[in-house]
Chains A and B, each alone.
Chain A
Amino acid sequence: MGFLEIRNVKKRYGGTDVLKGIDISIEQGDFLVLVGPSGCGKSTLLNLIAGLDQLSEGEIWINGVMVNDLHPSKRDIAMVFQSYALYPNMTVAENVVFGLEMRGVPKPEREAAVAEVAKILQIEHLLTRKPSQLSGGQRQRVAMGRALVRKPLVFLFDEPLSNLDAKLRVEMRTEIKRLHQNMGATIVYVTHDQIEAMTLATQIAVMNGGEIQQLGSPKEIYNRPVNTFVASFMGSPSMNMIPAVLGNGGVEIASGNGAPISLRLPANGRGPNAASGRKVILGLRPEAVTDPGAADRNGAVTDANCHVEVVEPAGSDTFAVMRLGGVEVIARMRADTDLKPGQTAPFAFNMEKAVLFDPQSGNRID
């Protein structure tokens, strides 16, 4: 059994199913990120784990104990809220220590615990201030301190970085990752930001419509998405989804101007060998479509000429937008590429990490 085990958990509000049977199991020290669009049920699931909401069906186990009927304070969890939820009338030190105080921890121990956590989070100089006197990033640290000080079995984070500005968000992301590495804590983290999910997680659960679409390591999710939803949700810019037809050990794409482009599939057993003529959707990450000079030539790489519609320099890379198979395709080029819009230029298609999907169901074809 996993350290945190979620078994067939369902949640209904009135007549609507918000969660339709969730199964997740993670080990101690895992960093599980629940990611998905708004309304996918990820925050609801987190609230169920916290005990702030009652589940309609299923079981939640933490460290071998079924916690379904346990009060939030008895589950040995700590939660960091999106709004930080710092008590406005208390100082930082009082905020951090409130949970210990409520549990009857004697004062000397409480003070020692605050000092320790304040040192880890570098908030020692803020301890006597009120939350209203803190900046967003400082509040965020205090909110984390309030969780850390309790040394719970599981940390729950509810979109903790979404109220910070872009620069601070990246800093705090690194901070959280460092904390996780140093303390080996078990964390469940909710976000709608797929980059946060990729950078922080050891396990990602991609959710949509109250169901888990895919549960796996960031690498698995990124490279082997089980369906078009996961493929297009994870990654930025998102994966190109090009209508194509199978044939001759590869796929053919209508290029718009005359001859179709034929791309060879790698001979590594992936992708269907037979079924010529079958319609598929070819999933190609932008980095798999690049300048011929920059491509990794070890794999199944095919060069083809394409008509460039738009060029978007992004600093570290330049993105080229073209039209293949009737859809927009984004290619990630070197930053110093001299592509011009309107030009027809050669592109290298690296098919090593290409994924094929069924056009009807959207599921991956292996």
Chain B
Amino acid sequence: MSAAAGARGLSLGRIVLYAILGLFAIFYMLPLFVMIVTSFKSLDEIRLGDMLGLPQQPTADAWFAAWQTSCIGLTCEGLKGYFWNSIKMVVPAVFISTILGSLNGYVLTKWRFPGHRWVFALMLFGCFIPFQSVLVPMALILGKLGIAGTTAGLVLVHVVYGLGFTTLFFRNYYEAFPNELIRAAQIDGASFFQIFRRIMLPSSGPIIVVTVIFQFTNIWNDFLFGASFASGDSAPMTVALNNLVNTSTGVREYNVYMAAAIIAALPTLLVYIISGRYFVRGLMAGAVKG
């Protein structure tokens, strides 16, 4: 039926359909549009109340203020310190959880041991534990380890929490990886880690990209763990953004808030754009019979 409609060109039904889709798209994009235009307006212009209007005198002042001079809590040095906090947290956390996840997946599919199903089931179960329920025990453990309130502590929390997901991703990917390759490598004399490093990892491009995007987005955007386990100067971006908006001195600088929010969202956007380009399918083509 849809093919017939397509053959006749734009029917009334199609026009209505596209109109509705367009409407939803506009509705969905509208907040982002408001954020961007507001961030380039001066406070005076914002007070005029035309939320959707383009800036009359575009200015990047709010962006500089958000980055360098806005007040978060008692200090007025902008977001930049917290931005680096987030980078220092997210890079090791993503790297470690991805590597450990791929090792787990490798063992759970290619070096099976009695009870491997149970181990995997428990790790999967870990994905579904609500964050709030572990806050207190986690705080106790971090305290005992002496890394409470530090970026290292936050990295540990995110690695532990991400492990269930990364293991799931890699296990499912390696499940389809031909066992004969592992056997061939064993006969060739490659060790456990040599097989992993020389054969599994180089063939894991697509799933590494998926895992990195997923982990990066989750860890960067996390607020609860950041607010709970990293206080003051080691707080990540999300917590700082909240503190910036809630700092209750002076006027509410909406343009600065908007700029700050966009800065906070930029890295995840970048990861999507950059990684997406490397998301090449079919890296495995030709491994086995054609």
Binding site for B on A (CB under 8 A): 50, 52, 71-73, 77-79, 81-89, 98-99, 102-103, 130-136, 139, 146, 163
Pick the contact of B181 from A73, A85, A99, A139 — CB < 8 Å? Answer: A85
Interface residues of B in 34-81 (CB under 8 A from A): none
Identify 14 new A-B residue pairs, CB closer than 8 A, beyond the known A85-B287, A99-B187: A52-B183, A72-B183, A78-B187, A83-B178, A85-B178, A87-B181, A88-B181, A89-B283, A98-B190, A99-B189, A102-B188, A102-B189, A132-B286, A134-B290
**Nearest chain A CB to B199's CB is how many angstroms away?**
5
Cβ–Cβ < 8 Å partners of B10 in chain A:
none
CB distance from A206 to the nearest CB of B (A): 25
The answer to whether the Cβ of B31 comes within 8 Å of any Cβ in the partner chain is no
**Contact among A71, A72, A99, A136 for B290, CB-based, below 8 A:** A136
Q: How far is the CA of A82 from the CA of B186 in the complex (A)?
A: 16
Q: Nearest Cβ in chain A — how far from B175, in angstroms?
A: 16
Say whether B188 contacts A82, CB under 8 Å: no
Closest to A73 in B: B189
Contact present for A98 and B290 (CB under 8 Å): no
Asked whether, in the complex, the Cβ of A134 is within 8 Å of the Cβ of B286, the reply is yes
- Measuring CB to CB, which residues of chain B are less than 8 angstroms from any residue of chain A? 178, 180-181, 183-190, 194, 198-199, 202-203, 283-290
* Set of chain B residues within 8 Å of A79, measured between Cβ atoms: 183-184, 187
Q: Which residues of B contact A83 (CB under 8 A)?
A: 178, 180, 288-289
A83-B288, A136-B290 known; A88-B188 Cβ under 8 A: no
Asked whether, in the complex, the Cβ of A89 is within 8 Å of the Cβ of B199, the reply is yes
Q: Chain A contacts of B186 at CB under 8 A?
A: 52, 71-73
> How far, in whole Å, are A355 and B288 apart by their CA atoms in the complex?
44
User: Can you pick out 29 interface pairs between chain A and chain B where the beta carbons lie within 8 Å of each other?
Assistant: A50-B187, A52-B183, A71-B186, A72-B187, A77-B187, A79-B184, A81-B180, A83-B180, A83-B288, A84-B289, A85-B178, A85-B183, A86-B286, A86-B288, A87-B181, A87-B185, A88-B203, A89-B199, A89-B283, A98-B185, A102-B194, A130-B286, A131-B286, A132-B285, A132-B286, A133-B286, A134-B286, A136-B289, A136-B290
Instruction: Looking at the assembled complex, report how far the CB atom of A6 sits from the nearest CB atom of chain B, in whole angstroms.
Output: 18
> Which residue on A lies nearest to B289, using beta carbons?
A163
Contact check, B283 vs A88: say whether CB atoms are below 8 A apart: yes
Cα separation A146 to B286 with both chains bound (whole Å)? 16
The residue among B178, B189, B203, B283 with the most chain A CB atoms within 10 A of its own CB is B189
Provide the residues of chain A in CB contact with B202, threshold 8 Å: 89
Q: Which residues of A contact B283 (CB under 8 A)?
A: 88-89
Which of chain B's residues have a CB closer than 8 A to the CB of A88?
Answer: 181, 203, 283-287
Residues of A within 8 A of B178 (CB): 83, 85
Contact in complex: B199, A135 (CB < 8 Å)? no
Bound state CA distance, A33 and B201, in angstroms? 36
Question: What distance in Å separates the Cβ of A344 from its nearest Cβ neighbour in chain B?
Answer: 50
Kindly report which residue of chain B lies nearest to residue A135, judged by CB atoms: B290
* Alpha-carbon distance A79/B183, docked complex (angstroms): 9
Distance in angstroms between the alpha carbons of A136 and B289 in the assembled complex: 7
Give B181's nearest chain A residue, CB to CB: A85
Enumerate chain B residues within 8 angstroms of A103, measured Cβ to Cβ: 189
**Contacts A83-B178, A84-B289, A132-B286; A89 near B189 (Cβ below 8 A):** no
Residues in B neighbouring A134, C-beta threshold 8 A: 286, 290
Smallest CB-CB A-B distances: 5 pairs: A132-B286, A73-B189, A99-B188, A88-B287, A89-B202
Chain B residues with CB below 8 A from A78, complex form: 187
Residues of B within 8 A of A136 (CB): 289-290
Question: For the complex, what is the distance from the CA of A339 to the CA of B236, rounded to whole Å?
Answer: 91
A333–B187 Cα distance when bound, in Å, is 49
Closest partner residue, chain B, to A143 (CB atom): B184
Instruction: Please name all residues of chain B whose beta carbon is closer than 8 Å to the beta carbon of A132 when the two chains form the complex.
Output: 285-287, 290
Closest CB in chain B relative to A33 CB, distance in Å: 20
